[in-house]
Chains A and B, each alone.
Chain A
Amino acid sequence: GESVGLHLPTLSVQEGDNSIINCAYSNSASDYFIWYKQESGKGPQFIIDIRSNMDKRQGQRVTVLLNKTVKHLSLQIAATQPGDSAVYFCASTGDYKLSFGAGTTVTVRA
């Protein structure tokens, strides 16, 4: 079945630096990917998505890169701020459901 995983469970980053969060997926048929941010006590919040016909998509301070050859996607956060501290999940779609990775906890150091 589908499995989606993140490379590192935790990431500590200095405020103002760029953050990179990685994710690998197993189902080569996955054609839509989403990054979510989850803060304590809240549900996952949509950050950015990308379809399989693209390899890069940019949002406000965030960029998602998709490498279908190695089934890998990453989330880059520019100029990381304290409010970026949260758990980040990648998810892929298939059969009307999302398959989530385990999550990376990002901690921003002042």
Chain B
Amino acid sequence: KAGVTQTPRYLIKTRGQQVTLSCSPISGHRSVSWYQQTPGQGLQFLFEYFSETQRNKGNFPGRFSGRQFSNSRSEMNVSTLELGDSALYLCASSSGGNQPQHFGDGTRLSIL
């Protein structure tokens, strides 16, 4: 079974631009979550989707948004990029409920 796939792996943007990151979950998984990982803040929850519905959202500004498609693939978008948005963005999928989330290898976003 293929794992969680995130594209692109690396991305360089400049302040003020916007970016879209993509995540393909493990086949059959309907829950997709996004996390931001930085050296200073660690792993922080962004949002979770299940069957195209956002069920929870973390404490991030409205510049961070996401969506999930009918095939469970998910995208997250960050608008008006700031230097502090430089981070590793991780996507995780699970079958839902109290089942383990499985992570992709992330998208490394660098803001210049």
Q: Is the CB of B98 within 8 A of A31?
A: yes
Count of residues in A whose CB is under 8 Å from the partner chain: 24
The segment from A14-22, A66-74, A78-86, A99-107 found at the interface with B is A99-107
Is B27 among interface residues, defined by CB-CB distance under 8 A?
Answer: no
Is B42 among interface residues, defined by CB-CB distance under 8 A?
Answer: yes
Asked if A96 meets B55 with Cβ closer than 8 Å, knowing A43-B90, A44-B103, A103-B42, the reply is: yes
Main secondary structure of the interface of A (DSSP, over half): strand
The segment from B14-22, B43-51, B61-69, B76-84 found at the interface with A is B43-51
A21 and B101 CA atoms in complex are apart in Å by 21
Residue of A nearest to B105 (CB): A43
A97 and B98 CA atoms in complex are apart in Å by 10
Q: Is the CB of A45 within 8 A of B103?
A: yes
- Chain B interface (Cβ within 8 Å of chain A)? 4, 31, 33, 35, 42-45, 48, 50, 55-56, 58, 90, 92, 98, 100-106
- Having A49-B100, A96-B48, one finds 8 other A-B pairs with CB under 8 Å, namely A34-B101, A43-B90, A43-B104, A97-B33, A97-B45, A97-B56, A98-B35, A98-B92
